[in-house]
Amino acid sequence: VQLVESGGGSVETGGSLRLSCAVFGRTFDSVAMGWFRQAPGKEREFVAGFRWSDTFYADSVKGRFTLSRDTAKNTVYIKMNSLKPEDTAVYYCAADDGWGSSDEYAYDYWGRGTQVTVSS
């Protein structure tokens, strides 16, 4: 399974970005998908994920970030609105052969990440 993220960039506070994660080698409906992020000097943290058709979010992004997916493109998206400087991080897409989790160690496959920078 190969995961390729795109869509990162630099925005000002309050701006929006949409990240994409293209899944190769498996249809994404056969794996659980998640997004994580890692800020400089901090541990990687869960952002949002799919569990079957349900979505779940970290409290820090709830109401601002929205997951979606395009079956035809085998791609999942995360739309990030009302961005804050504390959202600055490398964002990673991950796939889990299991049920989906907020625990990074549950995930079996990872993308290389895409940088998101939010300036104040």
Terminal-residue alpha carbon distance, the chain = 37
Q: pLDDT digits over 50-79, tens only? A: 887 889 999 999 999 999 999 899 999 999
Both structure tokens of 103: 């625990």
Q: pLDDT digits over 7-37, tens only? A: 999 999 999 999 999 999 988 778 899 999 9
pLDDT attached to residue 100 = 84
Q: pLDDT digits over 76-113, tens only? A: 999 999 999 999 999 999 999 888 899 999 999 999 99
Query: CA 9, 12, 17 angle in degrees (round to 5)?
Result: 45
Both structure tokens of 58: 């970290």
pLDDT attached to residue 2 = 95
